[in-house]
Structure 1
Amino acid sequence: MISVDHLTKTFGTVRAVDDLSFTVRPGVVTGFLGPNGAGKTTTLRMLLGLVAPTSGSATIDGRAYADIAQPGRVVGAALEAASFHPGRTALDHLRVFAPQVGVTDQRCREILDMVGLSEAAKRRVGGFSLGMRQRLALATTLLGDPQVLVLDEPANGLDPGGIRWLRELLRYFAGQGRTVLVSSHVLSEVQQTVDDVVIIAGGRLVHASPLADLAAMATRHVEVASPDESALRAALDGRGWAYAPSRDGVRGFEVEGVTAAEVGAAAFAAGVELHALTQQVVELEDVFLSLTGQAAGGAVETTEVAA
């Protein structure tokens, strides 16, 4: 398990991480989400002992990274800025790390096969695409068969097939009871992969829950208006629907959790004349943008239905 407890980091007058606390459970894939500059990478660097916190702590199974003997056997980490010697082959790159984590040359070959780079084992990394470099970075994290994976933007540079492969690999590792933390600034990249989400903005925690709870915040409602509001209200009450006065200043109601077709059918059955009937859908990505304080930029999908 990963525990972040009141973690704070300041750089001069800039507070990159601000009193941040969350936990990452074993056996699930946790998405560490937030816009660029939210403090995700700084948090991960403090977790991995690369940056000293101003206050607070970040531990792995109750220990600081620096206190773990042979950390490569416990934690596999790949940060966004992973770099490689362009003149080394993929196999030689792993051979450099093999003695540090106590694995054999055969293990290096097995891992290259696992990440789909066995045919490129003897190619120089300088000729690799970004997607191939991402796979090699992941191979490096897996070399010591760790119980904890910490990956910073691992989908960068992967094509759709590569993203699907990554998703299946992370789910496989979580299914073995391992702890998996994956950072991203795009919810849609990890939406089909993660079980839990931790969302930060401005260095602060803004939301932490299972993905299903975040999805429940995505809502839909129907805006409906009639010249006979009493009759419309009676028709809505007859169906037991929750509704409230429209928030956009237009006369009418917002009906929660239903479709425009359902509202239209109820009005027709009650003989109620409608002057407006509009479906409003708030997507999960809109919820994410709202939580992180970004403008949705017209992301609300609107479907007009003839009255």
Structure 2
Amino acid sequence: MAPTAQESALTDGVVSVRGLTKCFGTVRAVDDLSFDVTPGRVTGFLGPNGSGKTTTLRMVLGLTAPTAGTATISGQSYRDLASPLNTVGAALEATSFHPGRTGLDNLRTYAPLAGASDARCAEVLDLVGLGAAAERRAGTYSLGMRQRLGLATTLLGDPRVLLLDEPSNGLDPEGIRWLRGFLRFLAGEGRTVLVSSHMLTEVQQSVDDVVIIARGRLVHSSSMEALGALSVPRITLMSPDAPGLERLVAQMSWSATNRSADGRTIEIENVTAADAGAAAFTAGLEVHGLADRSQTLEETFLRMVEVPPGPQSATTPATLGKAS
């Protein structure tokens, strides 16, 4: 049965995943995954390498058949979309460009599939900052420029939905800053933008919402603001007056998680540095040190996915774009 006009309006541009599961033999790459991604916002699809992000995106695009569950775009499976390339722009891996052809000619190769004109090819090259390099051979492009060319390819059909797998790979700091602004520009036009990454630090300044998975399962889904609220405030307070410091902790009913042997340094949870400083001042406590030890967003993310920090370093259907 065809969707009603009201149903179409409610699902327009929405990527909806319900109970999505994919097994490769005895391995569950994706396990009962459910979430929604809404238009007008940039959503980060996060998880460590091997967590099932790319497999999920491939199922959304109909490239991999799910073992169970559904994935729809604007209320339809990808295969049922009347004009898929004008509805969804996807970049799941480095696009194979002919190194001997110019950037513009490479786009002309893909343009007929999306019904795009030469003018549209030139327009999207300008949009991604490659207008001046349009006549250069793709073989001379840097990795970051090839990433931009891949992004230009996804935009040929002027799609409402963009699914981008690790789009910041190969970009220098200036390119990453440009990408952040560009993704927000696309969402500001009312598009649905889903960006995968294995590191929160790569996307936290550019996304509005997050979907975090580990071992193929959803572990968190919310706005970035709500994710930030999960960080536990923690401070270290130091005073030469050990008895006075202990009295202050007891008086304020603070949760002390660690004390130095001489009692002059105490680590306290769920207290901000500002509140601790004000309480010490009111109590007349001499303070020799006050340090904020709060958990960073990246530490919160790593704790969720249980990845130990290093130099590289409850599952329900969730609708993003709403505070949780």
TM-score band, normalised by shorter chain: 0.7 to 0.9
User: 1:35, 1:292 within 8 Å by CA — same for their partners in 2?
Assistant: yes
For structure 2, the residue ranges without an aligned partner over 5 or more in a row are 1-13, 313-324
User: Counterparts of 1:1-307 in structure 2 under 5 Å?
Assistant: 1-224=14-237, 226-227=242-243, 231-233=247-249, 236-237=251-252, 243-246=254-257, 254-259=268-273, 263=276, 266-267=279-280, 269-272=282-285, 279-297=292-310
Cα deviation for residue 90 of structure 1 reads 1.2
Give, in angstroms, the shift of residue 276 of structure 1.
8.3
Residue 303 (structure 1) aligns with = none
Distance in 2, Cα, partners of 1:203 & 1:150: 18
Cα distance change, pair 13–144 in 1 and its aligned pair in 2 (3 A): same
SS at 2:293's partner residue?
A: strand
Residues 245 and 285 of structure 2 are in contact (CA less than 8 Å); yes or no, is this contact kept in structure 1?
Answer: no
Q: 1:232 to 1:37 in 2, by over 3 A?
A: same
Partner Cα separation in structure 2 for residue 114 and residue 47 of structure 1: 26
> 2:249, 2:153 → 1: CA distance?
63
Which is further off, 40-49 or 274-283? Answer: 274-283
Structure-2 change in CA distance of 1:38 and 1:28 (3 Å): same
Change (3 A) 1:279 1:103: closer
Cα pair 1:198 1:207 within 8 Å, conserved? yes
Given that 2:249 and 2:256 are in contact with CA atoms closer than 8 Å, whether structure 1 keeps it comes out as: no
Which letter maps to 2:159? P
Q: 3-state DSSP class of the match of 1:227? A: helix
The alignment partner of 2:243 has SS state of: coil
Mapped to 2, the partners of 1:198 and 1:74 lie a distance apart of 22
Q: Over residues 10-64 of structure 1, what are the superposed CA-to-partner deviations in whole Å (9 max), with x where a residue is unaligned?
A: 1112111111111001110000011111110111111111111111111101111
Give yes or no for contact 2:94–2:147 (8 Å, CA) kept in 1: no
Confirm or deny: 8 A CA contact 1:174 1:180 kept in the other structure: yes
Distance in 1 (CA, whole Å) between partners of 2:126 and 2:112 is 20
2-side partners of 1:101 and 1:231: how far apart? 71
Give me the whole-angstrom Cα distance separating, in 1, the residues matched to 2:307 and 2:131. 42
Distance 1:272 1:135 in 2: 57
* The 10-residue stretch of structure 1 (182-191 or 267-276) with the greater mean CA deviation from structure 2: 267-276
Q: Give the share of equivalent positions with the same residue, in percent.
A: 59
Q: Does the Cα contact within 8 Å between 1:201 and 1:292 map onto a contact in 2?
A: yes
**Alignment RMSD, CA only?**
2.4
Alignment TM-score, normalising by the size of structure 2: 0.83
Does the 8 Å CA contact 1:227/1:275 hold for their aligned counterparts? no
Query: 1:148, 1:179 within 8 Å by CA — same for their partners in 2?
Result: yes
TM-score (norm 1): 0.87
Distance 1:11 1:298 in 2: 31
Residue 277 of structure 1: how far off its partner (Å)? 5.8
- State the AA in 2 paired with 1:280: R
Q: Tell me if the contact between 1:115 and 1:138 (Cα under 8 Å) persists in the aligned partners.
A: yes
